Chain A
Amino acid sequence: MDTVTRRKFLQLTAGAVAVGAAAPLLSVDEIAAAAVNRPLAAGTPIVVMVTLYGGNDGLNTVIPYTDSLYFSSRPEISYKADTLLPLDAELALNPAMKGLKSLWDQKKVAIIRGVGYPKPDRSHFSSMAKWQTASPEKHINTGWLGRWIDTQAEDSMLAISLGSVLPPLFAGAKRSGSVLPLGGLVIPKGSVATNCLQLAKISRADNSLMAAAATSMRNLFSVSTTVQPILKAPAPVAVDLPVTNGGNAGGDSNLAQQLDVVAKLIAAGSPTKVWSVSLGGFDTHANEANAQAALLGSVSDSISRFISQMKSTSRSADVTVVVYSEFGRRVVGNGSQGTDHGTSGPMFIVGEKVNGGFYGDQPSLKNLVNGDLAVTTDFRDVYATILESLLKSPVEPVLGKWSGRTKFLKA
Chain B
Amino acid sequence: MNAKRLEIARLSHRFAFGPRPGEFAAALAAGVSATRQKVLTVPTTDAGAALVANPVITDLGVRPKPNTPEIIPFVTGMRNQTEQLTIWWLDRMAVSDHGLSERMAWFWHGHWATSITKVDHPLAMYKQNQVLRQYALGNFAAMSRAMVNDAALQYWLDGQTSTAKAPNENLARELMELFILGVNRYTEDDVKALARVLTGYQLSLNAATVLVNPKRRDMGAVTLLGQSSTFTAESASDYLVAKADCATFIAERLWYRFISSTEEMPKNLSAVGAFASREVAPAVASLAQDGAMSNPKYSMVKSPVEWFISACRALELTPSKLIDSKQLINHLNKLGQIPFYPPNVGGWPAAEAWLSSASAQYRIAFASWLIKQSPLRALNEIPVDRRVLASADWLGVAQWSPRTQAALRNALGDPQEFTLLALCSPEYVVSA
Q: Please give the residue numbers on chain A whose beta carbons come within 8 Å of chain B beta carbons, in ascending order.
A: 1-5, 7-12, 14-15, 19-21, 23, 25, 27, 121-123, 125-126, 164-165, 179, 181, 183, 185-188, 191-192, 194-196, 198-199, 201-217, 219-220, 223, 285-286, 333-338, 340-341, 370
Q: Which residues of A contact B173 (CB under 8 A)?
A: 122-123, 341
User: Is A213 a contact of B183 with CB atoms below 8 Å?
Assistant: no
User: Is A207 a contact of B351 with CB atoms below 8 Å?
Assistant: no
Q: Which residues of B contact A123 (CB under 8 A)?
A: 173, 177, 183-184
The answer for the CA separation of A11 and B421 in the assembled complex, in Å, is 28
A310 to chain B, nearest CB (A): 27
B35 close to A (CB within 8 Å): no
User: Is A10 a contact of B353 with CB atoms below 8 Å?
Assistant: yes
User: Is A340 a contact of B353 with CB atoms below 8 Å?
Assistant: no
B206 close to A (CB within 8 Å): no
User: Is A210 a contact of B184 with CB atoms below 8 Å?
Assistant: no
B355 close to A (CB within 8 Å): yes
User: Is B262 a contact of A15 with CB atoms below 8 Å?
Assistant: yes
The answer for the CA separation of A206 and B349 in the assembled complex, in Å, is 22
Known contacts A216-B360, A335-B161; A199/B183 CB under 8 A: no
Closest A residue by C-beta to B416: A192
B430 close to A (CB within 8 Å): yes
User: Is A198 a contact of B162 with CB atoms below 8 Å?
Assistant: no
User: Is A14 a contact of B166 with CB atoms below 8 Å?
Assistant: no
User: Is B358 a contact of A181 with CB atoms below 8 Å?
Assistant: yes
Q: Please give the residue numbers on chain B whose beta carbons come within 8 Å of chain A beta carbons, in ascending order.
A: 1, 118, 156-158, 161-163, 165-170, 173, 177, 183-184, 188, 191, 256, 261-264, 296-297, 299-301, 343-353, 355-361, 364, 399, 401-404, 406-407, 410-411, 414, 417, 420-421, 424-427, 429-430, 432
User: Is B350 a contact of A217 with CB atoms below 8 Å?
Assistant: no
User: Is A207 a contact of B352 with CB atoms below 8 Å?
Assistant: no
User: Is A5 a contact of B344 with CB atoms below 8 Å?
Assistant: yes
User: Is B403 a contact of A198 with CB atoms below 8 Å?
Assistant: yes
The answer for the CA separation of A374 and B184 in the assembled complex, in Å, is 21
Known contacts A3-B343, A11-B347, A123-B184; A183/B358 CB under 8 A: yes
Q: Which residues of B contact A212 (CB under 8 A)?
A: 352, 355
The answer for the CA separation of A320 and B5 in the assembled complex, in Å, is 54
Q: What 17 new A-B contacts, CB under 8 Å, besides A5-B344, A217-B424, A336-B158?
A: A7-B343, A7-B348, A9-B346, A10-B353, A15-B262, A20-B353, A23-B352, A27-B357, A125-B183, A165-B356, A198-B410, A206-B426, A213-B429, A286-B161, A334-B166, A336-B161, A338-B168
The answer for the CA separation of A272 and B17 in the assembled complex, in Å, is 43
Q: Which residues of A contact B169 (CB under 8 A)?
A: 285, 334, 340-341
Q: Which residues of B contact A198 (CB under 8 A)?
A: 403, 406-407, 410
Closest A residue by C-beta to B157: A2
User: Is A195 a contact of B356 with CB atoms below 8 Å?
Assistant: no
A-B contact pairs, 22 of them (CB 8 A): A2-B345, A8-B349, A9-B346, A15-B263, A19-B352, A20-B353, A165-B353, A191-B411, A195-B417, A195-B421, A196-B421, A205-B1, A205-B401, A206-B401, A209-B262, A210-B401, A216-B357, A216-B359, A217-B360, A286-B168, A335-B166, A335-B168
Known contacts A21-B352, A216-B359, A335-B166; A125/B300 CB under 8 A: no
State the main secondary structure of chain A at its contact with B. loop
User: Is A25 a contact of B357 with CB atoms below 8 Å?
Assistant: yes
User: Is A25 a contact of B356 with CB atoms below 8 Å?
Assistant: yes
Q: Please tell me which one of the listed residues B170, B343, B347, B359 contacts residue A164 in the complex, with CB atoms under 8 A apart.
A: B359
User: Is A209 a contact of B299 with CB atoms below 8 Å?
Assistant: yes
Known contacts A8-B346, A207-B296; A199/B357 CB under 8 A: no
Q: Which residues of A contact B359 (CB under 8 A)?
A: 164, 216
The answer for the CA separation of A285 and B426 in the assembled complex, in Å, is 41
Q: Which residues of A contact B161 (CB under 8 A)?
A: 286, 334-338
Known contacts A185-B358, A198-B410, A335-B168; A209/B401 CB under 8 A: no
The answer for the CA separation of A183 and B158 in the assembled complex, in Å, is 34
User: Is B346 a contact of A209 with CB atoms below 8 Å?
Assistant: no
**Which residue of B177, B348, B357, B358 has the most chain A CB atoms within 10 A of its CB atom?**
B357
A246 to chain B, nearest CB (A): 27
Q: Which residues of B contact A14 (CB under 8 A)?
A: 261-262, 349-353
Closest B residue by C-beta to A211: B426
Q: Please tell me which one of the listed residues B296, B346, B402 contacts residue A203 in the complex, with CB atoms under 8 A apart.
A: B402
The answer for the CA separation of A178 and B81 in the assembled complex, in Å, is 42
**Which residue of A192, A219, A223 has the most chain B CB atoms within 10 A of its CB atom?**
A192
Q: Please tell me which one of the listed residues A15, A19, A285 contacts residue B256 in the complex, with CB atoms under 8 A apart.
A: A15
Q: Please tell me which one of the listed residues B301, B347, B421 contacts residue A209 in the complex, with CB atoms under 8 A apart.
A: B301
The answer for the CA separation of A187 and B361 in the assembled complex, in Å, is 7
User: Is A214 a contact of B264 with CB atoms below 8 Å?
Assistant: no
The answer for the CA separation of A181 and B360 in the assembled complex, in Å, is 12
The answer for the CA separation of A393 and B296 in the assembled complex, in Å, is 42
Closest A residue by C-beta to B365: A186
The answer for the CA separation of A337 and B166 in the assembled complex, in Å, is 10
A287 to chain B, nearest CB (A): 9
The answer for the CA separation of A9 and B296 in the assembled complex, in Å, is 27
User: Is B299 a contact of A207 with CB atoms below 8 Å?
Assistant: yes
Closest B residue by C-beta to A125: B183
B214 to chain A, nearest CB (A): 17
Q: Which residues of A contact B301 (CB under 8 A)?
A: 209, 213
User: Is A11 a contact of B349 with CB atoms below 8 Å?
Assistant: yes
User: Is B360 a contact of A209 with CB atoms below 8 Å?
Assistant: no
B350 to chain A, nearest CB (A): 6
User: Is A199 a contact of B343 with CB atoms below 8 Å?
Assistant: no
User: Is A336 a contact of B344 with CB atoms below 8 Å?
Assistant: no
The answer for the CA separation of A7 and B261 in the assembled complex, in Å, is 14
Closest A residue by C-beta to B417: A192
Closest A residue by C-beta to B342: A8
The answer for the CA separation of A338 and B170 in the assembled complex, in Å, is 11
Known contacts A209-B262, A214-B426; A285/B168 CB under 8 A: yes
Closest A residue by C-beta to B265: A15
The answer for the CA separation of A23 and B349 in the assembled complex, in Å, is 17
User: Is B357 a contact of A181 with CB atoms below 8 Å?
Assistant: yes
User: Is A10 a contact of B404 with CB atoms below 8 Å?
Assistant: no
A394 to chain B, nearest CB (A): 31
Known contacts A7-B349, A181-B357, A191-B411; A210/B427 CB under 8 A: yes
B303 to chain A, nearest CB (A): 11
The answer for the CA separation of A223 and B407 in the assembled complex, in Å, is 21
